[in-house]
Structure 1
Amino acid sequence: MAAEFGRLRKGAVNTTVAAVVVAALAASQAPGVTTDGAGRKVTTGTQPSPDTPAADSATGNSPYYTDLPPLNSPNPAPSAGTTVTPAAGEAGIPATVLDAYKKAEAALRESKPHCNLPWQLLAAIGKVESGQARGGRVDADGTTLSKILGPQLNGAGFANISDTDGGAYDGDARYDRAVGPMQFIPSTWKWAGRDGNGDGRKDPNNVYDAALAAGHYLCRFDWNLADQADLDRAILSYNNSRDYLNLVMRWLDYYRKGTHEIPDGTGTLPSGRSDDGAGANPTPSPSPPASPSTPSSPSAPSSPSAPTTPPKPGGSEPGDGGSGSPKPTPPPSTTPPTPTDTVDHLEDAGTAKLTAMAGDTFTEKISARAETESGKAVARVRVRFTITGDTDAVFSTGEKVAAVLTDGSGKAVAPALRAGEDTGEFTVRASVVGRAVAGLDYTATVTERAADTLARTDDTALTCVPGGEFAERVEVKATYKGAVADKVAATATLIKAADDPDENDKGPYFKDADGKPVRTLTGLKTDADGLLELPKLYADDTTGTFLLRIATAGGATLTVELKVAAAETSPETPPAEEPTESA
C-alpha cells in the first residue's frame, strides 16, 4: 500500500476532521514506535523493519480506504424492523462478515491463546482494506459477490510485484494485485491462506477464509496483541505505513466501544483511498462535467538557442540514430543498490541432519547465508523459509513460513521446526525475499514415535482359574531415553513361548467387540503419560503358565507371565462330636 495518506474524499468537513485525527495520532505514538526518514511508522522490534519489502507483507502495501469512524458512538444499535440509515450502516458490521471475524477470534483463541487476537482488530483491518467486504456484499457462504481487487502493483506509484500466481487469484498474469476482503497479495496468500468455513478450499474472496488467514498472519511471530508494541508490529507487518497504523487503531478503538450487526449488503461503501482514487473503486462516482476553462495567454516565444557546432561531413548528430557516432552512454544511476540487490546466491551455513520423532521439536535449526557473487556475506537481507510437501510439520511459530533477516555474517537462522504426526520426508526451501536467485532446499525427516523401555506399573501376580477372568488388568509405562513416550504405537500378543513369538492358540485371551476370543491386539497407543492399559483378560479351560508380550515402535518389549490354575481347596474339617448326656 502507498506510504502516504492521500486526500480524504469525504468533503471539507471530513478532510478537516481527518487532519486533526491524524495529527493527534501522530503526536501520541504508542510505546516502542518511531518514525523513519520517509515518515513511515516503525517499531523498535525486529519485525517488520523499515525496509521490509512489499512482497513480504500481507497486502504488498496496496492502497487502502481512508474513511474515518463516525463521530457518534457505535451504540445503540438500530431496533429490529427499523430501516438501516447510512449512519447506522457505517457504524454496524454486516452479519456474515461479523460472524467471520468472531469465528476467527475463537479459532485463534484455541490454536494461539498467547496471541490475544481481538475480533475488533480484524474488523478494523477489514474496514480499512475493503469497507467490510463492500458493505457485506457476500453470499450465504461468505464469498464476495464479485472479486475485490486492488490496482496492479506495477511500480507506478505502488510497489512493483511481478505476477506470482499466473493470474489464478487476481486474474492478472503480469503483476500481482491484492485480492479479497482482507486484500492479500497472491504470494502471501499462497502460504498464509486458511480454510475458515470448512469447505475444503482456501479462497481469498471468502470472508471466513480471509479473516482466519489474517488472524494467523497477525499472530505468526508469537506476538502478544494485548501489548501495544506487539500490536503495532503486527499491524505494520500487514501494511508498513504509519498512516495505515494510525487509521487501523482509530477503527479498532471505535469497534472496542461497541458495535452492532446489520444485514448483509447494507453497509456503507467506502470512498476515500490512500492513493486518491487510482485503481478500481467498488462504486466509482461519475465525475462532474468540467467547467469551460479560461483560454490561457499565449506563451512568450522562446529565445533562440545558441548555435551548435555543425556536424562533420558524412557524420551525424549524436543520438540521432545515424551511423556516424555511437549513442551516448546514459549516466549511471545515482541510487545505491540495496543489500538485497547485491545478493547473488544462498549458501548452506552448516545445517546438520534434520531428523525428529513425531511430535518433537527438531534439535537442529536451518541456517542459510546470503552472499555476493564473490562470496562476501550480505547483512540485512530477508530470507524466507517455506515448508513444502505433504506434512503437518510447522515452525515453532505455528506457521509453515518464516522470514528472517540475515545478521552481520550474512546468516539467517530459521525458527525451530516442530514435527507433527505425519512421518516421512518433507522439504524446507530458503529463498531471498525481493530477489530472483536460486533457493536452497533442505530435507527433513520425521520418524514415528518410539519407546526404548517398557515396565509394568505394579508387580501384582496375574492369576486366574480355568474358564474365569483375570482380576487385574495389565498396565505398562513406556519411556524413551528416560522421558515419557506418549502416543507410541504398540501391539500385545499371547505368544507360545519366550523363544517362539507366534500367537498361542490356547490359554488366556482378550475379547473383540463381538465377545469372541482374540490373542493379538494391534493399533494400541500409549497415552499422554506414556501409559497403556490393556483390556481385561480371560482364561479358557487350559491350565499352566502363559506369556503375554507387549512391543512398541522403537523396539521396546516386555513379556508378562500369566498363570491359570484350579483354585486351591482347603482340607475338610471333621465334624465336631455331639456332647453326650450324663447318666
Structure 2
Amino acid sequence: MARYRGTHKSATYTTGDESRRGPRSKWRKGVAGTALAAAAMAALTASQAPGAQLGGSGGDEGKDRGDSSRPDLAPGDDSYHTELPPLESPAPPKSHGAPDAVGSHSGIPATVLAAYKKAERALASTDRGCGLRWELLAAIGKVESGQARGGAVDKEGTTLKPILGPVLNGSGFARIEDTDGGRFDEDARFDRAVGPMQFIPSTWSRWGTDGNGDGTGDPNNIYDAALAAGEYLCAGGKDLGSKSGLDRAILSYNHSRAYLRTVLAWYEFYREGTHSIPDGNGPLPTTPGAGEESDAPGKGKGNGSGGGSDSDKPGKDKPGKGDGGDGGDGEGGGDDRPSPAPSKPATLEPVSKTELSVGAGQDFEDPPKVKVLDKAGKPVEGAEVKFEITGDSTGSEFEGKGTVKTRTDGTAGAPTLDAGDTTGRFTVTATVVGSEIDPASFVATVEPRATALTRTAGSLTASKGSHFAERTEVKATYKGKAAANVPMTATLLTEDGEPLGKGPRFNLLGEPDRTHSATTADGLLGLSKKGVLRLPTIYTDEATGTFLLRLTTPDGPTLDIKLKVTG
C-alpha cells in the first residue's frame, strides 16, 4: 500500500473462473486497490458495519466478531514504513547497556518485545493458535509504526503519544467516514489507523481485545494491539507454518505484494536474532508512515502521513536518532548538533544482476540495485538515485516514485517494477541526482506470461448425452512458478484439430458453444488457485469418439487434451 497515485490502466483480474474488467490495481496500488479490496471483503465476510459497538472488555463475552474465520481485508490503511533491514543481523550485545544495544536494528524495546511474546503464548495455548511466531508480530509492528516509535510506551504498554495514520478522507487514500466518534483516532469526521499495530477503529471494534488484563481493549496499548493482530492473522484456519499460509496472513493485513516483501524481510531478520533494549531507545523510522521521525520538531514538515506531534519523544536527541534527517520531504534541518560533511558520490555501480527477465503482467522479483561510493571507495549514505525506464515500452512502470535514497551501506534498490502487459525489452537507467558520474544500466526482458500449461484436474471420459463429471483445470506456469492473469482460450475440436459439427460443447442449451476464454486466477484472498483456470462443465451430445480440448495463450504455450465420448 505504498502511496501510489499514478494512472491506473485497464486490465483483467480473475476470481475463481470469472473474468472481469477493472482498474489495474493488482489489489495493491494505492487508493483504488484499497477501495476494491475493502468493498470485496465487505461483501464476502459480512464484517460489522461502520459504527458498530466498540469492544472494551477483556474477553469475547458480548463482542460480536462476525465470522471470525474470515477477517476484514486489512486492519490499517495505505501507509507503512518501507525501509528494509540490514543485510546481516548483528550479534546481540554482551551487556544490556552496551553501546550497540541502543538504536540497533535488531534491538526491540523491552515492553514491545514482551507484548509480542505474550501474544504468541496466549494464542498457542488456545484453539485459536495457528503457528504464529512473535517475530511476525515484530515485523508487522516495525513496518506499521517503527515498534511504537522506538518503544515510546509507558510501563503498562500504552503509547505516550497517539500514533495515527493519515486521515482517510479520500484524498490520496481510501475514504472511511468516522466510525468511533473520534474516541481512538481523535477525528470525529473521518477514520485514521490507530496505535502501534495501526488498526482502523471499525476493524478494532471487531478484533480488539484485552492483552494485558486491565479489563480494557485499547488499540494504543501494545499488549492489546499485539494480541488482536495475532488473532486477526490466525483467522480463517490459516497455517502460518506454511509459506502459503504465512503469505495469506500478511496479505490479509495489507494486500500489497510490496508490503508482503517488506514484512517478510523483517520477519527473517528478526528470526536470525534479536535482543531487548530499553523502552524509548529503539531506532526510529526514516521512511514516511505512522510514527515517522519527521513527526518530531525540527525534522521537517513530513508528508502528512504520520500521526501527531511528538515533541517529547524519548531518546530523540541521543546518538543515532537524529542523523540530520530531512523529515521525508527534503526540507530537513532543525538539529543543532554539528554534522560531518556528507561524502560526495564518485562512482555508481550495479550490485544486482544487470540482465533481468520476467513474464508479462508480473513484477520483477529482483529489481535493479546499485551502490554509491565516494573517492575513497566508501559507501555514501543519503544520496538520491533516480531509476528511469528507457527504450521500447512494454507498459512497464515503477510502483511509486523512481527516486530513492541510499542506505547506510551506500545501496539503493529500485521500487517494485511492474513488467507491463507486452513482451519486449527495455532499459532501466540509474543516475545519482545532482551528479555527473556515469549512470548504471540494466536490461530488462518481458517474456510470454507462461512457459508451460499442465492439466491438473478433469475427467477424460464421458458417455454420450451426459457430461464430463469433473471440470477441467489447467495450470499456467512461468519457469516453474504459477503464473496468474494469463489469458487463455479453450476450444473443442475434432481429433484432427478441425472445427466440430457435432460433439462436446460448453453449454447445455441453445446454439453449441465450443470456445471459452478467461484468465488464470491470481489466488487473492484464497478464493482460487493461483495460475489455475477452471473451465466450465463440458456436455456431450450423441456423437461418440475422440475429441481435442485445445488450450492456447496469446504469446506462449499450447496444450492439447484428448477427450473420449463412449456410447
Give your verdict on TM over 0.5.
Answer: no
Larger relative contact order (C-alpha < 8 A, sep ≥ 6)? 2
TM-score normalised by length of structure 1: 0.41
TM-score, structure 2 as length reference? 0.42
